[in-house]
Amino acid sequence: MSAETSTSAQTQQIKLLQNSPLDGFSLKVLIEAGLNWLRTNQQIVNALNVFPVPDGDTGTNMVLTMQAAYDEIANLSERNFGKIAHAVAHGALMGARGNSGVILSQIWRGFARSVDNIEQMDSEMFARALSAARDTAYKGVVRPVEGTILTVIKDVAAAAEAALAHTNDPFVILEEIVQVADQSVQKTPELLPVLKEAGVVDSGGKGLFFILEGMLRYSKGLPLDIMTTAVQPLASMNLENSLSSIEPGQDYEVVVDFKPNHSLNLESFYQELEEIGTSIQLGEGDGVYRLHIHVPTEKRYMPIEYTMSLGTITKVSIENLIAQMEEIEGTSGSVKLSLAPVAPGQIAVIAVSPGLGISKVFASLGVAAIVEGGQTMNPSIQEIIKAMENLPTDKIIILPNNKNIIAAAKTAIGYTGKQVNVIPTKSIPQGFAAMLRLEPDGDLEEVTGQMNEAISDVITGEITRATRSVEIDDVAVKEGQFIALLNGKLISSGNKIEDTCLSLLEKAQADNYELITLFYGNEMQKSEVNRIADVIRTKYPNQDIEVQDGGQPHYYFIMSIE
């Protein structure tokens, strides 16, 4: 199909959308539009992370949740609006990842319940559905916090109800709620002090705004694949996961650092690059821009030539994606874990793990199933449900090991007939501590209670790099510095990794504990790990210092202090 034919077909579809009653087909088109616009702005949402750590994944979680929602309806020819809405809600629930994804799935759940079996939607139904979405989202959170996605959906619902006083056109309402959503997002720092301190707006609320704006943009015939907002901070570009899905024609990954001679016209910049390749990201820091793009073999030098016409190139990287994918798949396919066998009636533990080394430790402690996940890669509710259903027992304990996975784990409980408890572990060391209390033949509630007690007995330290300059909790951080987190709280920063490690241990009062275990990440060389471990041993001669290969991304060290 030619570009002209495709554009003409889209124009006809838009006219049909605007001039016909809103039915299931209309909702399907709008869901796809919201997904596409959210995906275009995914990295902007990811960059809106309160702490300057490389785990901003709200945009990714919301995109994967919306993708699961759309996948549920992609092949349906159903015209009933309510039935399509229910399919969207089911897909979003099963694909929900992270806190933002779970809340987004609850928004669609409330929306769907309000339009149950409705053939076509009018403006009053639209407003009522948004109010139901708001109510369900708030009920789904134990302690609702204002200044989040909850506030945005609340303001959107109120705006839709107010619009009924002067219009009965759903698209006029859509335009008004998009404006209100934007305003609501901009006000989130005034409602949530931590956002104001970090200098960002709420990421979940911004993601919801992009979904609604994408629907509006489609109805107006505007493009959904060209960013119109500012570029993301350079250090927040998450290129580590760019190999997770390689589409046909994405033969090479090209990364170009350059200094433009003049201010970039972003719209023109993206239009040019869309003709060259896909998976386009643009980051900026201290006047240097970083372009990331996937291209077919015959176009692998075109991004370099184009950026050279805009300014001075300082660095270029070209990687063969196909070869890398084959290597990764070959390596991962050869790894086997010896997970604990479980008999019917015994207690089985499911642990979420971010790295192979950490998974091996969990397996050695008696975990029966591993769900891959962690920072920037939260597992979906469906993945957690699948792990539960594959176990031959009806007594299960889940260790999320990450604060952003707890909600998904708790939601998954409602979709199995088994007895399942979630231990609210927020870190890997807490998960290990809980596993030491496992008694497979014990009483489920008693074992759960013992595990809950155990997670307070361990201190967690984490070392990573700052993705931006900021001051939080009286700690000044410069982009690129090493930073230390103690039980999730930012406590120090430094230019040397060993100094940052020692600062963390000092503030954790490590000399009052017996054992310090260093789980090193996949970016660390063993020689460097041993050197840092020796520095720590010299400082803490009376403590046992153990070193383990964790294999986790983004975090140089995860420390367990006990």
Residue 402's domain comprises: 332-454
End residue of a domain, out of 454, 482, 513 = 454
- In this structure, the answer to whether residues 28 and 142 fall within a common structural domain is yes
End residue of a domain, out of 323, 348, 379 = 323
- In this structure, the answer to whether residues 446 and 466 fall within a common structural domain is no
Interatomic CA distance for residues 121 and 24, integer angstroms:
9
- In this structure, the answer to whether residues 499 and 426 fall within a common structural domain is no
DSSP 3-state of 143 = coil
Beta strands in 142-231 (DSSP E): none
Does residue 402 fall inside a structural domain?
yes
- In this structure, the answer to whether residues 144 and 26 fall within a common structural domain is yes
Q: Which runs of consecutive H residues, i.e. helices, occur in 365-420?
A: 381-389, 406-413
Does residue 239 fall inside a structural domain?
no
DSSP 3-state of 26 = helix
- In this structure, the answer to whether residues 444 and 489 fall within a common structural domain is no
Does residue 516 fall inside a structural domain?
yes
At 5 the pLDDT is 46
Q: What's the Rg (C-alpha) of the chain?
A: 25
At 316 the pLDDT is 84
Look up tokens 């370099």; give the residue. Answer: 304
- In this structure, the answer to whether residues 366 and 442 fall within a common structural domain is yes
At 330 the pLDDT is 45
Tokens of 316: 């270029």
Count up the domains in the chain and report the number: 4
- In this structure, the answer to whether residues 167 and 142 fall within a common structural domain is yes
**Residues in the chain with pLDDT values less than 70:** 1-20, 51-56, 226-250, 286, 321-336
What angle (nearest 5°) sits at the alpha carbon of residue 529, between those of residues 523 and 531?
140
- Overall pTM > 0.85: no
Number of Cβ atoms within 10 Å of the Cβ of 508 = 20
Q: Which element (helix H / strand E) includes 291?
A: strand 288-295
At 3 the pLDDT is 44
- In this structure, the answer to whether residues 65 and 100 fall within a common structural domain is yes
At 334 the pLDDT is 44
- In this structure, the answer to whether residues 180 and 34 fall within a common structural domain is yes
CATH at residue 545: 3.30.1180
Does residue 425 fall inside a structural domain?
yes
Does residue 384 fall inside a structural domain?
yes
- Is residue 324 within 8 A of residue 295, CB to CB? The reply is no
DSSP-derived letter for residue 467 is S
Burial profile 549-559: b = 16 or more Cβ within 10 angstroms, e = fewer: bbbbbbbbbbb
3-state secondary structure 330-358: HHHCCCCCCCCCCCCCCEEEEEEECCHHH
- In this structure, the answer to whether residues 400 and 506 fall within a common structural domain is no
At 16 the pLDDT is 59
Does residue 205 fall inside a structural domain?
yes
- In this structure, the answer to whether residues 300 and 403 fall within a common structural domain is no
CATH at residue 151: 1.25.40.340
Does residue 129 fall inside a structural domain?
yes
End residue of a domain, out of 435, 454, 473 = 454
CATH at residue 354: 3.40.50.510
Burial profile 363-392: b = 16 or more Cβ within 10 angstroms, e = fewer: bebbbbbbbebbbbbbbbbbbbbebbeebe
Does residue 447 fall inside a structural domain?
yes
At 10 the pLDDT is 58
- In this structure, the answer to whether residues 484 and 546 fall within a common structural domain is yes
